[in-house]
Amino acid sequence: MEQIQLKSYLEKLRQKPKSRARTHLQEIATPYLRYIIWTDTTFEKDMSLFWIKINQFYKRKGEYETKKILDWVKDKNSLHPKQVIKALL
């Protein structure tokens, strides 16, 4: 169920108009979303908070550090959204 919800969310994300910077960040982060354990009950809230925090982190630290965090997420392969968000603080 969560994969269907994730795919649906990503499709909506692609359809929204956005700036070049936001598009670039989405291109960097989107492939890593599948390594996070999303739950149906908090999906929208967690996803929204993820994008807010990754955007803030990207602005603060830059692309290289953002990719390092995302690679860490990939290596762990089963983190909950709150664990990822905590790493982005």
Q: Is the pLDDT of residue 7 over 80?
A: no
Q: How far is Cα 89 from Cα 82, in angstroms, rounded to an integer?
A: 11
Model pTM score: 0.77
- pLDDT digit string (tens) for 34-76? 899 988 888 889 988 999 999 999 999 999 999 999 999 999 9
Q: How far is Cα 21 from Cα 85, in angstroms, rounded to an integer?
A: 20
Give 1's pLDDT tier (boundaries 50, 70, 90): very low
- pLDDT digit string (tens) for 17-40? 566 667 788 888 989 988 999 888
